[in-house]
A and B are shown apart, each in its own frame.
Chain A
């Protein structure tokens, strides 16, 4: 059976890992290369690098980080943040990433998704959205607006229409980030995930709001998400990845067991990348 995925997200700014609280205040959460190595050892199913600065200088730093990490881990890596052009997509995939996650860039230039999917395949083009709830009259279906620029700017676009368009353009997977929930640790927006999961047929990755293992359980079951992305609960070691997986497994969710001792084939300690981080 296909397992539900647990994906730690590394928000990177200026080469340091940072945590976002409603996309504003930052709190330093350690060296990203070191963290990535730890997540790999713990059996993370994928890693996401999110480049918060996404300036051209920042991009080089992040690509350098991703390259160092990818040399030492054997799980898929996704890079997102500030991807505006087809050239950006090509550059990142040519580097070390397996997938690119495109957010505001797709709103501004939807063709990036189409071009990326045509050239590299839908499997490596992730459509990411920042969605903010909008007030609807009592009894009406819930609704969300697409925001851009790290959630700062509303676009007036309806999230449900936009996700359909992203899939039509060729996105092979969607990451749904709730602006309202992000950084609160109060739980994912279950309704958002469920609504999108019922609207489109590609895998859904839930993002924003994770504070407890119950939140992850809820979004993978009620929320119908295929994967859960989380940052701070892992960065600050509130929970470890094996702990989360054991919790989910007890409740009947299919997750991947990862026991590195099961097969000893003399893989170098991924922690060795830590030393190289000083290069």
Chain B
């Protein structure tokens, strides 16, 4: 079962719907005990980093997420969910993240319109199951003002250019995070989600 974590950070129906569409067994879960059967965890998120992190903490998600990842089970962070996987964010103050990967979340430099809204391309840096069949230069739907500055190059599976070249897909083993919204990215987004569901 793919558990989509609902921690009070917005509408998750579109993520659940995308997995349903692919014929996957997906469920929105509101507490860690509902996720005890989960083979895969998905952490979405649209809101500010600090709020998202304190909601995760208050609802007792931090430990179950870390245990899940440590056990080598598949995990996917989407948008702010990706950012939360890293050590720290500078969005509205300094906030600590889950620290599953090393790096910081920083604001786009001046010069480009902020937020970045729309379809941008990925440059694949490292092949992985998540990207199986995904063409180089594919467009995905992005909405964000902050990006992940990954400390270790090997964690960067794909990059995207918007004023800077930044990590748009991060991953290590069965831990993955995407800055864009695969559930809003038509066929290629669904392909990526199907690839995630096939990781075991």
Q: Does A173 belong to the interface (CB within 8 Å)?
A: yes
Q: Does A165 belong to the interface (CB within 8 Å)?
A: no
Which B residues are in CB contact (< 8 Å) with A51?
Answer: none
Check if B187 sits within 8 Å of A203, measured CB to CB: no
In angstroms, Cα B52 to Cα A197, docked, is 31
Which A residues are in CB contact (< 8 Å) with B11?
Answer: 93-94, 96
Which A residues are in CB contact (< 8 Å) with B183?
Answer: 74
Q: Does B144 belong to the interface (CB within 8 Å)?
A: yes
In angstroms, Cα B46 to Cα A122, docked, is 10
Point out the residue from B120, B135, B184, B190 that lies within 8 Å of A2, measured CB to CB.
Answer: B120
Known: A203-B117, A257-B139, A263-B191. A74 touches B47 (CB 8 A): no
Check if B120 sits within 8 Å of A96, measured CB to CB: no
Closest chain B residue to A260 by CB distance? B187
Which A residues are in CB contact (< 8 Å) with B48?
Answer: 121
Q: Does B94 belong to the interface (CB within 8 Å)?
A: no
In angstroms, Cα B119 to Cα A74, docked, is 13
Q: Does B13 belong to the interface (CB within 8 Å)?
A: yes
**Residues of A contacting B: mostly:** loop
Known: A262-B135, A267-B21. A98 touches B13 (CB 8 A): no
Q: Does B22 belong to the interface (CB within 8 Å)?
A: yes
Which B residues are in CB contact (< 8 Å) with A135?
Answer: none
Check if A267 sits within 8 Å of B190, measured CB to CB: yes
Point out the residue from B47, B115, B191 that lies within 8 Å of A203, measured CB to CB.
Answer: B115
In angstroms, Cα B117 to Cα A201, docked, is 12
In angstroms, Cα B18 to Cα A268, docked, is 12
Q: Does B143 belong to the interface (CB within 8 Å)?
A: yes
Which B residues are in CB contact (< 8 Å) with A43?
Answer: 186
Check if B141 sits within 8 Å of A76, measured CB to CB: yes
Q: Does A155 belong to the interface (CB within 8 Å)?
A: no
In angstroms, Cα B120 to Cα A45, docked, is 11
A107-140, CB under 8 A of B: which get 1 and which 0? 0000000000000111110000000000000000
Closest chain A residue to B187 by CB distance? A263
Closest chain B residue to A119 by CB distance? B47
Considering only residues 54-107 of chain A, those with a C-beta below 8 Å from chain B are: 70-71, 74-76, 93-94, 96, 98
Check if A121 sits within 8 Å of B47, measured CB to CB: yes
In angstroms, Cα B13 to Cα A265, docked, is 21
Check if A5 sits within 8 Å of B118, measured CB to CB: yes
Check if B116 sits within 8 Å of A2, measured CB to CB: yes
Check if B22 sits within 8 Å of A201, measured CB to CB: no
Check if B141 sits within 8 Å of A3, measured CB to CB: no
Tell me the B residues contacting A by CB distance below 8 Å. 10-11, 13-14, 17-18, 21-22, 46-48, 113-121, 133, 135, 139, 141-145, 161-162, 181, 183-191, 194
Told that A226-B113, A258-B186, A265-B190 touch, could you supply 13 new A-B pairs with CB distance under 8 A?
A: A2-B142, A45-B119, A76-B141, A96-B14, A121-B48, A123-B117, A173-B115, A173-B117, A202-B115, A260-B187, A265-B187, A265-B194, A267-B187
